[in-house]
Amino acid sequence: MDTTKTILIVDDHTLFRNGLKLLLQHYLPDSVIIESSNGEEALLRVTNKMPDIILMDINMPVMNGVESTRKIIEMNPEACIIALTMHGDESYYYQMIDAGAKGFLLKNSKPDDVLDAIKQVCQGKHYFSEEILYSVIRNLNKNDTEIPDIQLSSRETEVLKMICTGLSNQEIGDKLFISKRTVDNHRASLLEKTQSKNTAQLVMYAIKTGVIKL
Amino acid sequence: MDTTKTILIVDDHTLFRNGLKLLLQHYLPDSVIIESSNGEEALLRVTNKMPDIILMDINMPVMNGVESTRKIIEMNPEACIIALTMHGDESYYYQMIDAGAKGFLLKNSKPDDVLDAIKQVCQGKHYFSEEILYSVIRNLNKNDTEIPDIQLSSRETEVLKMICTGLSNQEIGDKLFISKRTVDNHRASLLEKTQSKNTAQLVMYAIKTGVIKL
DNA sequence: TTTATTATGGGTATATATACTTAAACCGGG
DNA sequence: CCCGGTTTAAGTATATATACCCATAATAAA
């Protein structure tokens, strides 16, 4: 690692931020570490001056990591954003890649991995935790036999949300001022697109993909 | 803070552990910090010598924080265990209190809060993050009008899990070698006990309460 | 021992969801 | 302009879930 760098940590957990900051200061004494507690704050921080590296959490209040990454990359496609993920965030991998993240780190990585990632990304390369590569490859195997990516229309998403709250097709129709039969059709489309067999699997899909929040 | 203390950090995220360790070493230079990456490791660590303070994450692989806390408190009811929680772990608050945790810290606390918590708990007192107290009080309000605590039988839980995977009552009956009608009745009990109107709400309940994992 | 709960199974009826089909109106991109 | 997808709607049929009722055996709790 050569000269002084500015590193922005974006995470909603103060303890995690503070700890990581100390960690980075210890291994990279010349670096300048700044912090933001969510995606929106991060956006404001980078408008004046783009840091050399951004370590971005995914699950955050106000604005999540995916959206924030997307907007930062819009401002500057060269921005070096490394996603900080936990096990369980698998469904966001592709979204983050799509948004323009240059690297992926698991939160249970070793400090060496973080330094490696920063080094690689600063050189214009990409960096992925081994575990993440493994997980992605495992998903690729799945996708051979299953569906790659599903696109739900806005109406379908709307209906899906209502289904999850426990409304019947009749009730959904009443709320949306459309026929129950139309809702039947949307539901059928949802079952087919998500390869679900019934309501239970549909709700599970909605939760796994983040269509609805707990 | 007076003399030298031993502090055990139990968390599955290496980065978090390392960061928190640096943080504690910075503010408590005389302390000895040791680490475990899950509840089972923690158990092994404390059998020889009980640390003065244990900072315990809740969601961990192999053995989670609740179970680990329960077993450590069994060994030594005086053990000073402080739970480290995230927003979203609300459903575990009561379990952790029940298990014997002496304090509660949110992962987005300030370092000062951590020192406070350690100080208080070492003096035999309890410590709770303000946000946690707030959340608990808010839930108390809810419980006035809603359901206090629901107890599902093991058979019901078994059926509920299968429902969530998308099996029909007939299929569940076949798997459990019981009549479809029996499953009908279990399902009806589940709907009543969980105050659900239909399958969708049932699945939502299962996920919110952690009956099933994603 | 009495009592309560759970697990088991069934009768009957209705409500809802699911499967298959067709089709009209609309809207945006090539 | 036509084409593909979405949204709307409906016919018809079956499968499944839900709502009541009841009953018995085993087990745990009081």
Q: Are residues B41 and B122 in the same domain?
A: yes
Statement: the pTM of the whole predicted model exceeds 0.75: no
Q: How many angstroms separate the CA of residue B161 from the nearest CA in chain A?
A: 10
- pLDDT of A148 higher than 50: no
Residue B214 included in any domain: no
Residue B164 included in any domain: yes
Q: Are residues B94 and B63 in the same domain?
A: yes
Chain A contact for B170, CB < 8 A? no
Residue B213 included in any domain: no
- pLDDT for residue A48: 81
User: Which amino acid is located at B25 in the chain?
Assistant: Q
Residue B1 included in any domain: no
User: Which amino acid is located at A130 in the chain?
Assistant: E
Burial of B67 (0-12, 13-18, 19+ CB in 10 A): middle
CA angle A115–A120–A124, rounded 5-degree value: 145
- pLDDT for residue A145: 36
Which CATH number covers residue A91? Answer: 3.40.50.2300
Residue B147 included in any domain: no
Strands of chain B (E only): list them.
6-10, 32-36, 53-57, 81-85, 103-106, 127-128
Range of the domain at B135: 6-142
- pLDDT for residue A147: 35
Q: Are residues B77 and B116 in the same domain?
A: yes
Each residue of A79-89: pLDDT tens digit? Answer: 889 988 876 56
Q: Could you tell me the strand order of the sheet in which B6-10 lies?
A: B32-36, B6-10, B53-57, B81-85, B103-106, B127-128
Q: What residues of chain B lie within 8 A of the CB of A37, using their CB?
A: 108
Chain B contact for A138, CB < 8 A? no
A194-CA/D1-C1' distance, Å: 34
- pLDDT for residue B2: 52
Residue A108 included in any domain: yes
- pLDDT for residue B27: 87
Q: Are residues A134 and A197 in the same domain?
A: no
Q: Across residues A129-148, what is the average pLDDT?
A: 52
Q: Which of B142, B162, B183 is the last residue of a domain?
A: B142
Q: Are residues A128 and A182 in the same domain?
A: no
Contact B203 A199 (CB under 8 A): yes
Chain B contact for A213, CB < 8 A? no
* Residue among B22, B109, B202 whose CB faces A26 most closely: B22
Each residue of B85-119: pLDDT tens digit? Answer: 876 566 666 667 777 888 888 887 888 888 888 88
Q: Could you tell me the strand order of the sheet in which A103-106 lies?
A: A32-36, A6-10, A53-57, A81-85, A103-106, A127-128
- Of the two residues B210 and A163, the one the predictor is more confident about is A163
Residue B149 included in any domain: no
- pLDDT of A146 higher than 60: no
Which residues of B spanning 171-190 put their CB closer than 7 angstroms to strand D? 184-185, 187-188
Mean pLDDT of chain A: 81
Mean pLDDT of chain B: 81
Residues 6+ apart with CB under 8 A from B48: none
Provide the 8-state DSSP code for A59: S
Q: Are residues A129 and A182 in the same domain?
A: no
Residue A132's nearest CA partner among A171, A96, A160 is: A96
Q: Are residues B135 and B161 in the same domain?
A: no
Residue B81's nearest CA partner among B91, B98, B89 is: B98
Each residue of A41-90: pLDDT tens digit? Answer: 888 888 888 888 999 988 776 677 888 888 888 788 888 899 888 765 66
Q: Are residues A129 and A159 in the same domain?
A: no
Provide the 8-state DSSP code for B50: -
Q: Are residues A26 and A89 in the same domain?
A: yes
Residue of chain B nearest A105, judged by CA positions: B15
In chain A, the number of structural domains is 2
Each residue of A166-207: pLDDT tens digit? Answer: 999 998 888 888 999 999 999 998 898 888 999 999 999 988
B151-CA/C4-C1' distance, Å: 15
| pLDDT-based confidence at residue A10 (cuts at 50, 70, 90) | very high
A200-CA/D7-C1' distance, Å: 25
Contact B165 A200 (CB under 8 A): yes
Residue B43 included in any domain: yes
For residues B150 and B160, is the Cβ–Cβ distance under 8 A? no
Q: Are residues B199 and B93 in the same domain?
A: no
Q: Which of B142, B176, B198 is the last residue of a domain?
A: B142
CB atoms within 10 A of CB A74: 11
Q: Are residues A130 and A45 in the same domain?
A: yes
Q: Are residues B128 and B178 in the same domain?
A: no
Q: Tell me the torsion sign for CA atoms A36, A42, A48, A54.
A: positive
Q: Across residues A142-166, what is the average pLDDT?
A: 71
- pLDDT for residue B62: 66
Q: Which of A142, A163, A189 is the last residue of a domain?
A: A142
For residues B107 and B85, is the Cβ–Cβ distance under 8 A? yes
Whose tokens are 């969980």? That residue is: B194
Q: Which residues of chain B have pLDDT under 50?
A: 1, 140-148
